[in-house]
Amino acid sequence: MNRTDRLYALVEELRAVAPRIRTAAWLAARFEVSVRTVERDLGALREAGVPIWTEAGRTGGYGLDRERTLPPLTLTPEEAIAITVALRSAAGSPFAGAAESAARKVLARLPSDVRDAEQHLAARLHRVGEPEPPGVHSGLILTALADRRVLRLSYVDAKGHETERDVEPLGLLWGPAGWYVLGWCRLRDAVRGFLLDRIRAIELTGDRVERREVDLDAELARISARPLGE
């Protein structure tokens, strides 16, 4: 068994027994490698984001959080190609890093002929007017959106005035002047679009986003129509 197959098999073994654990010695015997190799493989999986946890002590070992992983998927070649090509289209978006990582994981499990077909097709897809990468603040904004938490921004408006304001994020938008975070501005008590390249500092607060009646479609149309960045 090569290392790629062993890494995959390690995850599936831990998934099968979860929430119970397996010791490194048991896994080493199961896959006919040394304990050191198993520990190195498990460390690599954890660095790649697989939710493997450890339990210390004589009876300790390694476990997997099943709720944070997906079971194996059986895909047709057409389905696999559709997924990876769609993930490639996320280039230049706030999800570019995550999409690239997900595409690598899918590609790693494809037969060589399907992988070759995917790469051939992907090389022939083109977009006109592709947006620029959203910048260093996009990761924190995505976290705030997912957790429904308020952001504190130090922001420079179109006239060069810098203010600090708390913003309840509603979404990210590629508009006429670049990437915006769309949100309810507590300073202005209204929805505003903030250009990411005018954000001087950003902080994730402990406040939760309030429930508000906001017509997102109308606000998106308004901000898309002209370069705001108030």
Give the number of other CB atoms < 10 A from CB of residue 69: 16
pLDDT at 168: 94
Structure tokens at 227: 């370069």
Cis peptide before 72 (omega within 30 of 0): no
Order of strands across the sheet with 178-185? 190-195, 178-185, 162-175, 149-156, 199-208
* Span 124-171, pLDDT tens digits: 655 555 566 666 777 788 888 888 899 999 999 888 999 999 999 988
Once rounded to an integer, what is the mean pLDDT over residues 54-63? 85
Distance CA 120, CA 104 (A): 16
Cβ-based neighbours of 150, under 8 Å, separated by 6 or more? 144, 166, 167, 168, 169, 186, 205, 207, 208, 209
Once rounded to an integer, what is the mean pLDDT over residues 20-38? 93
Chain-centre distance for alpha carbon 56: 30
Burial class (CB within 10 angstroms; exposed 0-12, middle 13-18, buried 19+) of 161: exposed
pLDDT at 36: 93
pLDDT at 71: 67
Strands 61-64 and 149-156: unpaired
Owner of token pair 């949100």: 183
In this model, does residue 193 exceed pLDDT 60? yes
Once rounded to an integer, what is the mean pLDDT over residues 23-49? 91
User: How far, in Å, are 10, 32, 54, 56, 133 from residue 64 at the CA level?
Assistant: 10, 21, 9, 15, 34
Of 200, 198, 192, which is closest to residue 159 (Cα–Cα)? 198
Structure tokens at 63: 């476990």
In eight-state DSSP terms, residue 139 is H
> Lowest mean pLDDT: which of 16-30, 114-128, 177-191?
114-128
pLDDT at 124: 60
pLDDT at 74: 65
Please report the sign of the dihedral spanned by the C-alpha atoms of residue 140, residue 144, residue 149, residue 152.
positive
Burial class (CB within 10 angstroms; exposed 0-12, middle 13-18, buried 19+) of 222: middle
* Span 75-100, pLDDT tens digits: 676 777 778 777 777 777 777 777 88
